Structure 1
Amino acid sequence: MVATADSSAPDRPPSISDTADGADLARFGYQPVLHRKLGRYASFAAGFSFVSILTTIFQFFGFGFSFGGAAFFWTWPVVFAGQFLVALNFAELAARYPISGCIYQWSRRLAGELVGWFAGWMMIIAQIVTAAAAAIALQVVLPTIWSGFQLIGSNSDLTSRSGATNAVLLGSILLVVTTVINVIGIDWMARINSLGVTIEIIGVCAVIAVFFTHADRGPGVVLHTAGAAPGPYWAAFLVSGLMAAYVMVGFDSAGELSEETRNPRQVAPRTILTALTVSGLGGGLILLGALMAAPSLTDGSLSSGGLAYVIEAKLDSPAGKVVLACVACAITVCTLAIQTAGSRLMFSMARDRRLPFAKQLAAVHPRFGTPVWPAVTIGALGIALLVLNLGNAAIFATLASVCIVMLYVAYLLVTVPLLLRRIKGWPADAANTETGAPLFALGRYGIPVNALAVVWGIAMAINLAWPRAAVYTPTGGGWWMLWAAPLFVLATVLVGVVVHRMVTPGRTLAAEPAIQPA
C-alpha cells in the first residue's frame, strides 16, 4: 500500500478531486494537493529547459574542444543515442506511474523501498549540485554582455580565481530569484519557464543561422583532430564527451511534474522524448555551425572563449549581445527547472515520510499550491555548495562532473531494476488510461533497449568519475579534488545510510505491481 500524503498538508482545491487526473492519482493512494495547471508545451518546456542546450553548450564547448579538437563533435550523437535509450524506458514508466518524484517512485515500485529510497536520495543530491552548476553559468555570459557584472576582480574567465568567485556571487543571486519563483506558484513558474524556453529556442535558431551563413570552412571540419590533448585520441575523445554527457540529462523533468500536468499518462512520455530529441538536434547543429564558423581552430581562442568567442566574431556588438541575452534567459530557466524538479522529488519522498522534517517538506502552501520548504531547501543548499567552492578555479568542471555522475547513478537505479522486471514479464499487459487510449510501450523491443541503456549508463558513469588531473585539478590541487566524483558518490551513500535509518519506520513500503490499473 502506498503511503498517503502527510495529513497536515492543506486541503486541495475542491475542483481537483473531481477531475479524471485527480481520480487517477488517488488510485496510487495520494491526495491530489498540487495544482494541475501544466499543458503539453509547459511540460515540454520543463524538460527542455533542464537540458538547456544554450546554457550547457556555452558552459562546456571550450572544454570539449580543448580535449578532442573539432572531432569532439562526434561525442554528441553518441551521447544522444545512449540517452535516448534511457529516455525510451523513462517514457514507458511515465505512462504507468504519473506521480511527482518520478525517479524515486519508479525505482521503489520496481525494486522495493530500499533501492527506491537511494534512487531518490541520489537524485535529490544530484539536482542540488546541478542547480548550483547551472547557476554559475551566468559568469560565462553576463560579464561579456556588460563588464559591470564582473563585481569581483577584473578577470572574468571561470578558470581564474576572481572569475570563479564572481560566478559564485552571480549564481547565488540567481538561486534566490528561482527560489522565490518556485514558492509563488506553479502557474508563475510555468509562465516564466515557457517564455524562457521560447526565447531560448529563438536564440538557438538565431545562433544556428548566424553560424551557417558565416561559415569559414565546410562540415568536413568534424573529422579534424588537430589540437586535441596529448596522448591517444580515444582517451581525449572520452574526456571531451563530458560536455555532451552534461548537456543531455534532466529530460525526465516532465515526469517529476506529473501531478501538476493535465493528462500526464499521455503527455509526459511524449514530452520526455520530444525534449531530448529537440535538444539533440538543436545542439548538434550549434556544435557543427560553431566549428564551421570559428575564425580560427588553432590560436587557442575557441578553447578559452567557446561559443561566445564565435558569436562575438560573427556578429556586431548589439546583435551579439542580444544573442548572449537569450543565453542568460536560458540559464535562468534552466536553474528554475532543475530546482522545480528537485523540489517535487523532495516533496514526494517527504510525503511518504522518507526524509527528515517530512511534515514540513510535505506541506503544500494553501494559496500557492507549491511545496515551499523543498524549494527553499534546494536553493539554500545550492548556495551553500557554491560558497564551499569559493575561489576554486576548477569549480565548473568539478561540480559538473560530480552532478552528472550522480544523475547517471540515479538513472541506473531505475533502468537496472526495470530490466530485471522485464525479464520476469513486465509489463504484463498494455494498460490503458480512462479514455481507452493505449499507453506508450516498447513492446518486444523492451528488453534489448533496456539492456543497452544499462550498459550505456554503467560505462558513462565510470568514464565521468575517472580521476583525471586535467579535469579536476587543472591548476593543481589536493588528491581529494582529483577523486572528487567517486568520493562525493561514496559520501552521499554513507550519509544516505544514516538518514535512511533515521527515517525508516517499522513498516516499509513494498514494491508494487508493475501495472497500475487505469
Structure 2
Amino acid sequence: MQETLIPKSNESITGIDAITVVHDSDSEQLASLGYESEFSRDMSPWANFSLGFTYLSPVVGIYTLFAFALATGGPPMIWSLFIVGFGQLLVALVFGEVVAQYPVAGGVYPWSRRLWGRKWAWMTGWVYLMAILTTISSVAYGAGPFLAQVLGFESSINTTILCALAILVLSTVINFLGTKFLAAAAILGFAAELIGALIVGGWLLLTERHQNLSVLFDSFGAQSGNSYFYAFAAAGLIGIFQYYGFEACGDVAEEVKNPGVLIPKAMRRTIYIGGAAATFVCLALILAVADIPAVISGKDASPVDTILLQAFGPVGSKAVLIIVLISFLSCVMSLQAAASRLAYSYGRDDMIIGSKYLKKFSAIRRVPPYALILAAFIPAIIVIGSKVSEDALTKIISFAAFGMYLGFQMVVLAALRARLKGWKPSGKYQLGKWGLIVNIAALVYGVIAMINMCWPRTPGVPWYDNYIVLVSGIIVVGIGLIYMAVHRSYDSSDAPYGDAISKK
C-alpha cells in the first residue's frame, strides 16, 4: 500500500499533520490485513534498529563463543563472520519484502500464515517460539557469571542461577513498562554494545596487540592433521550463532510508524553494523591473545578473561564486565520483547492453548502482559533446571540456534513457494527482478548452515550426544506435530491465511 501525502490547495502537510497521515496509513494497511492494533507506535526508527542490534548483540555473541572458535579453528575462524553475514543478509532481504507487505506483530508466524497457510504458520511459530525461549534462558544463564563477578559473589551453580533469574526479572520489568521504555532501554543497550565493541576493541588494538594480521591466515595446527575445512566449519559456528536478531525489528511491526519502509531498512542495518562490530571485536581479541597455541591446546581455557585482566587490570576489567553485563541484559530484553509479540500474535489468532490469556492486552502499558510472563517463566524454569544437571541445560539450549535458523528457513521456503505460485510482493520494499534469485540463495545458505550445526563432531560420545542438535530439533518438531494432531487449534481461527497467492 503506497502512501501519498496530497496537500489541499496551497497547504502543505508537515509536522504533526504528516505524522498523523502516516499513522492513519499504517492503521489502514493493518486493517486491510484483518487486524486492529492495540499497540502504540511509539518506537522510533533508531529504537527499532537498536532492538534488532541488541538482539543480535555482537558483544554477547563474540565474548561467549570466542574461546571455542579460536580453540577449534584458530584465528582464520574470523572469516566465517563474513560468510555468514552475507548469507543472513540474503535472509534479511527476503524478510524485508515480506514484512513490508505484512507488517503484523509476531514476525515469522504471521508472515508464514499469509505466505502459505495455517498449519505451516503454526509449526513455524512453534519452532521459533521454542528456540527463542531457550535462547532467552541461555543468554540469561551466560550473563549470570558476569553479574556474580561484578557483585563479588563466589562463582558457583547457585550464584549463576540466582544472577540469571535476577537478569530475567529486571528484563521483564523493563518490558512491562511499555514500548517507550523498551525503546529507551534498547538504545541504552546499543550504546553499551558500541562501547564494548569500539572502545574496548580499540584499546586492545592500541595497548594489547601481540599478533600481526598474518595470524588470520594461520590455523596454528588447530585441524590436528585433518582437513582444515572441518575445523573451520566447526569454528564457523561463532558466525552462525552471531547473525540472528534482525528479525526482531519485524516482530514489533505494529509499534513502528511507516513499518513497510523503516523495518526492512532496520533489518539491513542490523546486519551491516552488527556484523562490522562483531568482526571488529573478534579481530581485537585475536590480536590480543599472547599465546594462541595455549588456547588451542586448552591451557588457556578463558582467553577473554585473560585478555581483559591484562589490558585493564582488576578495576578496569570490572568496568568492562559491567558494560558486557548491560549488553547481556539488553539482549535478554530484546529477546523477551520478540517472544512476547509472537506469543501475543499466536493468541490473537486463537492458535494455541491459553490463547485467551496470551491475547490479553494492557491498555495502560500497551503490552501483552501474559505473553511477557510466558517469555520470562519458561526461561526461568530452564535456568532453574540447570541445578539438576548443567549438562541438561546444555542439551536444551543446543536447539536454540538451530531452531532460529529452522524458523527462518520455513519463512524463506514459504516465500519461495508463494513466489513460484505467482506471489508478487506489493509492499513499500521490493527486490524486483532479483527477488527469486535472492530467495533461492537465502534458502541454499540456510540449509547449508543447518547441516553444519547438526553435523556430528564428537565420535567418542554416545550417539544421542553426537547428534544432539538434530535430535533436539526432531523432538521439538515432533511435539508440535502431536499437538497439532490432538488439539487442532490451528483450525480454530478465521483470521486471513494463504492470501499472498491470489485465489482464482
- Alignment TM-score > 0.5, same fold: yes
For residues 134 and 121 of structure 1, do their structure 2 counterparts lie closer, same or farther at Cα, with a shift above 3 Å needed? same
Contact 2:351 2:492 in 1 (8 A): no
In structure 2, what is the Cα distance between the partners aligned to 1:241 and 1:18?
43
1:491 corresponds to which letter in structure 2?
I
Partner of 1:122: 127
Return the offset for 1:511: 3.4
Partner of 1:247: 242
Deviations 1:383-402 (A, max 9, x none): 11122233645577645531
Which residue of 363, 366, 369 maps to 2:366? 369
Deviation for aligned residue 1:454:
0.5
Deviation at 1:500, TM superposition (A): 2.6
The verdict on how the C-alpha distance between 1:423 and 1:93 changes in structure 2, with shifts beyond 3 A counting, is same
Aligned-pair distance for 1:493? 1.6
Q: 1:140 to 1:112 in 2, by over 3 A?
A: same
| Structure 1 CA distance for aligned equivalents of residues 163 and 454 of structure 2 | 27
Question: Is 1:347 the counterpart of 2:314 in the alignment?
Answer: no
- Deviation string, structure 1 residues 340-373 (Cα, Å, up to 9, x no partner): 1000001001100001111110010121111011
Partner of 1:427: 424
Distance 1:426 1:466, change over 3 A: same
2:181 is the counterpart of 1:188: yes
- Correspondences of 1:115-154 after superposition (within 5 Å): 115-146=120-151, 148-150=152-154, 152=156
Alignment of 1:162-177 (within 5 A): 162=157, 166-177=159-170
Please state how far the C-alpha of 1:457 moved relative to its aligned partner: 0.8
2:435 maps to 446
Q: CA 1:383/1:16 → structure 2, altered by over 3 Å: closer, same or farther?
A: farther
How far apart, in 2, do the equivalents of 1:16 and 1:333 lie? 33
The answer as to 2:215 corresponding to 1:221 is yes
Aligned length: 477
For structure 1, which segment, 225-234 or 276-285, has the greater mean C-alpha deviation from structure 2 after superposition?
Answer: 225-234
Structure 1 residue 515, shift from structure 2 partner:
8.5
Please give the secondary structure, in 1, of the residue aligned with 2:301. Answer: helix
**Deviation above 6 Å: which 4+ runs of structure 1?**
15-18
Displacement, 1:510? 5.6
Counterpart of 2:398 in 1: which secondary structure? helix
Contact between 1:401 and 1:464, CA under 8 Å: does it hold in 2?
no
2:269 counterpart residue number: 274
Report the Cα distance in structure 2 between the residues aligned to 1:461 and 1:143, rounded to whole angstroms. 34
Give the aligned residue type for 1:225.
S
Question: How far has the Cα of 1:109 moved from its partner?
Answer: 0.9
- Structure 1 residue 227, shift from structure 2 partner: 4.6
- Residue type matched to 2:303 in 1? G
Aligned-partner Cα distance in 1 for 2:84–2:23: 43
1:290 matched residue in structure 2 = 285
For the structure 1 residues 125 and 52, does the alpha-carbon distance in structure 2 shift closer, same or farther, using more than 3 Å as the test?
same
The one of 87, 102, 108 aligned to 2:107: 102
Deviation at 1:28, TM superposition (A): 1.2
Deviation at 1:170, TM superposition (A): 2.0
Q: 1:464 aligns with which of 447, 453, 456?
A: 453
Cα distance, 1:494–1:124 mapped onto 2, change above 3 Å: same
Partner residue in 2 for 1:513? 499
Assess, with a 3 A threshold, how the Cα gap between structure 1 residues 290 and 177 changes in structure 2: closer, same or farther: same
1:29 maps to which of 12, 29, 34: 34
State the 1:262 CA deviation: 1.6
Displacement after TM superposition at 1:229 (Å): 4.7
2:322 pairs with one of 304, 321, 325: 325
* Aligned residue type for 1:27: S
- TM-score normalised according to structure 1 size: 0.86
The residue aligned with 1:11 is none
Q: Distance in 1 between matches of 2:392 and 2:84?
A: 23
CA contact (8 A) 1:51 1:248 kept: yes
Q: What is the rounded CA distance, in whole Å, between the counterparts of 1:310 and 1:355 in structure 2?
A: 48
1:389 equivalent to 2:361? Answer no
Instruction: Judge which range, 52-61 or 492-501, deviates more.
Output: 492-501
User: 1:205-260, CA deviations, whole angstroms, 9 ceiling, x for partnerless residues?
Assistant: 11221122131221111111115153332111111111111111121101000111
Can you list the C-alpha shifts for 1:7-51, whole angstroms capped at 9, x where unaligned?
A: xxxxxxxx9997332232112111111122100111001100100
Aligned to 2:483: 499
Contact 1:47 1:250 in 2 (8 A): yes
Cα–Cα, structure 1 residues 180 and 506, in superposed 2: closer, same or farther, change >3 Å? closer
| Cα distance in 2 between the residues matched to 1:16 and 1:515 | 29
Structure 1 letter corresponding to 2:484: H
| 2:147/2:163 contact within 8 Å kept | no
Q: Tell me how far apart the structure 2 counterparts of residues 31 and 322 of structure 1 sit (CA, whole Å).
A: 46
Please give the secondary structure, in 2, of the residue aligned with 1:299: helix
CA offsets, 1:283-305, max 9 Å, x none? Answer: 11111111112222122378521
Residue 92 of structure 2 is aligned to residue 87 of structure 1: yes
Distance 1:507 1:208 in 2: 51
SS of residue paired to 1:367: coil
Listed as ranges, the matches of 1:59-70 within 5 Å are 59-70=64-75
Aligned twin of 1:41: 46
Partner of 1:258: 253
Q: Deviations over 1:41-88 (max 9, x none)?
A: 110011001000111111110011111011111111111111111111
The secondary structure found in structure 2 opposite 1:57 is helix
Q: Which amino acid aligns with 2:308?
A: I
8 A contact 2:118–2:491 mirrored in 1: no
How far apart, CA to CA, are the structure 1 residues paired with 2:103 and 2:299? 44
- 1:307/1:18 Cα in 2 relative to 1: closer, same or farther (>3 Å)? closer
1:271 positional shift: 0.5
Letter of the structure 1 residue corresponding to residue 168 of structure 2:
L
User: Which piece of structure 1 moves more, 404-413 or 387-396?
Assistant: 387-396
CA displacement at 1:453 relative to structure 2: 0.7
Task: Give the alignment's TM-score, normalised by structure 2.
Answer: 0.89
Q: 1:53 to 1:302 in 2, by over 3 A?
A: farther
Let me know the Cα RMSD of the aligned residues.
2.4
Q: CA shift at 1:326, angstroms?
A: 0.8
Go from structure 1 to structure 2 and tell me whether the alpha carbon gap of 1:426 and 1:259 turns closer, same or farther (over 3 Å shift): same
Unaligned regions of 5+ residues in structure 1, if any? 1-14, 153-161, 432-438
Distance 1:247 1:70 in 2: 17
Cα deviations across residues 89-147 of structure 1 (Å, max 9, x unaligned)?
A: 1111121111111101111111111111111111110110110111112145334445x
Q: Output the CA distance in 2 between the equivalents of 1:91 and 1:465.
A: 28
Provide the rounded CA distance (Å) in 1 between the counterparts of 2:379 and 2:389.
16
Which residue of the partner structure matches residue 434 of structure 1? none
